[in-house]
Structure 1
Amino acid sequence: MKKQLLTGALVLSLLTCGGLTTTTQAFNFGSLLKLGGVSFLVDRYSSQINTVLNKLMIKNGAGTNYATKVVPVLSVGTGNYIGAVQVIGPQRQVEKVKAVGQLDASINGIARANAYIPLATTNVMNLHRVDGVGVSAVVDLKL
């Protein structure tokens, strides 16, 4: 609820102060709604998404005894919510994970790599990796 209020206040302030936007920073209302939508969907439906993923893994012979949890993916460069992943590991470590940071790299123009870092915070400016936890599934959200 708090995030919805903050998102609403941000949208309202950006709409009322739209004339103050500089020409170097274009305002994209669609992007703002998408980012807010990702945050809302992950916060609201993470446990249901996690249950569906666990059932899918079990059905296909890839079940696990480790703990799992669905968390948001944050772009390390911008801090924007860009998706969701399922993390897996020992219960104590999985409980510490609040988000996963994503780093992108191009490898000599022949490949593209995404690195996922389980984080103990949603603040990508101060990375605190959670050791012993990995990413077991990537969730593509349709917005």
Structure 2
Amino acid sequence: MRKFIFQRVTIAALICSLFLLSPAKLYAFNLGSILEGGGIAIAVKIFGRQINDFINTVLMNRNISTQEMTKVVPIISIGNGTYVGAAQVSGPAERVQTVQAVMQLEFNFSNDKFRIKALIPSDSLNPLQFHRVLGVGVSAMIDVKL
């Protein structure tokens, strides 16, 4: 039991440090920031299973778990700045397996009184060229501003 708790605390600490140590807002394409964002995406890909297990445990402990397959993938936000984080997607296994990232598109209108965020399960890590994976939804996300 102590080992299980230690593992969960360690994973949570890794996730928090991964996102808390990220740099400020990305206003222009900057190679250093792009590489750091790519590094976070790679870390999410490497630790995705542990992050997924952590999210599933938290949701299960609150009696709001899903019965479908889940997977954690990088989240890439496009709109008012670029963000990179992690998103958990859920749905039928054959479709969830094709998801490579979640694209978050942000739109502001009416003098910024309204904001829309579209979360799109994607078959690609490329924010300029991707297709929506139908039948898959976003069940959780961790987001950090670069």
Normalised to the residue count of structure 1, the TM-score between the two structures is 0.70
In the alignment, which residue of structure 2 is the partner of 1:61?
63
Matched, 1:133 2:136: yes
Runs of 4+ displaced beyond 6 Å: none
1:112-133: CA deviation from partner (whole Å, max 9, x where unpaired)? 2211111112223222110010
> Is the deviation greater in 109-118 or in 50-59?
109-118
Pick aligned residue for 1:110 from 110, 113, 119: 113
Whole-Å separation in 1 of the counterparts to 2:117 and 2:71: 20
Unaligned runs of 5+ in 1: 1-24
Structure scoring higher RCO (CA < 8 A, sep ≥ 6) equals: 2
Normalised to the residue count of structure 2, the TM-score between the two structures is 0.68
The count of corresponding residues between Structure 1 and Structure 2 is: 116
Residue 132 of structure 1 aligns to a residue whose secondary structure is coil
Pick aligned residue for 2:100 from 95, 98, 101: 98
Whole-Å separation in 2 of the counterparts to 1:35 and 1:138: 16
Unaligned runs of 5+ in 2: 1-27
Residue 74 of structure 1 aligns to a residue whose secondary structure is strand
Query: Are the aligned partners of 2:98 and 2:133 in contact in 1 as well (CA < 8 Å)?
Result: yes
Task: Go from structure 1 to structure 2 and tell me whether the alpha carbon gap of 1:26 and 1:120 turns closer, same or farther (over 3 Å shift).
Answer: closer
In the alignment, which residue of structure 2 is the partner of 1:17?
none
1:42: Cα distance to partner? 0.6
Query: Are the aligned partners of 2:37 and 2:84 in contact in 1 as well (CA < 8 Å)?
Result: yes
1:34-85: CA deviation from partner (whole Å, max 9, x where unpaired)? 31331232122111000000001100010111010000112456xx671110
Q: Which structure has the greater CA radius of gyration?
A: 1
1:27: Cα distance to partner? 4.6
Residue 38 of structure 2 aligns to a residue whose secondary structure is helix
Residue 97 of structure 2 aligns to a residue whose secondary structure is helix
Query: Are the aligned partners of 1:38 and 1:81 in contact in 2 as well (CA < 8 Å)?
Result: no
Whole-Å separation in 2 of the counterparts to 1:33 and 1:133: 28
- What CA RMSD, in Å, does the superposition of the two structures yield over aligned residues? 2.5
Query: Are the aligned partners of 2:107 and 2:116 in contact in 1 as well (CA < 8 Å)?
Result: yes
